[in-house]
Structure 1
Amino acid sequence: MTYDLEIHIEELRAEANHCDPAERAQIIAELDEARAALAAATAAQDAERAGEPPH
């Protein structure tokens, strides 16, 4: 899941750099949402790993 979010973030960053100014605010908002989702997913994975015994 985090890999997909990372790819989506990179796509949004590229799109934000090459779009017309009218679309930029919407893309930046989507980028902020994707970054927040990635942070939440990463935190959830870290919490799951903390409960596992070392391998």
Structure 2
Amino acid sequence: MTYELENQIKELRAEMKNACEANERRQIAAELEIALAELAAIEVEQDGRVSAEPPF
């Protein structure tokens, strides 16, 4: 899963560089922020710093 997410992040960064309109850049930036947050959450979970189990 992380491989696909990393590829998505690379594609979004490339799209951001080529985006001409401000609205398009904002939309891509929002998608990129979500993808980066998802990747960070996956990495933290894999490192064992956070458990995927609910706290109760």
Q: With the length of structure 2 as denominator, give the TM-score of the two structures.
A: 0.78
Aligned amino acid, residue 17 of structure 1? K
State the number of aligned residues: 48
Unpaired stretches in structure 2, ≥5 consecutive residues: 50-56
Please report how far the alpha carbon of residue 28 of structure 1 lies from its aligned counterpart in structure 2 after TM superposition: 0.3
Higher relative contact order (CA 8 A, sep 6+): 1
Instruction: State which structure, 1 or 2, has the greater radius of gyration over its C-alpha atoms.
Output: 1
**CA RMSD, aligned part only?**
1.4
Match of 2:38 in 1: 37
For structure 1, list consecutive stretches of 5 or more residues without a partner in the other structure.
49-55
- Structure with the largest fraction of helix: 1
Aligned to 2:7: 7
Deviation at 1:37, TM superposition (A): 0.2
The Cα offsets for residues 1-42 of structure 1, whole Å up to 9 and x where unpaired, read as 111111000000000100122200000000000000000001
| Aligned match of 1:19 | 19
Identity %: 52
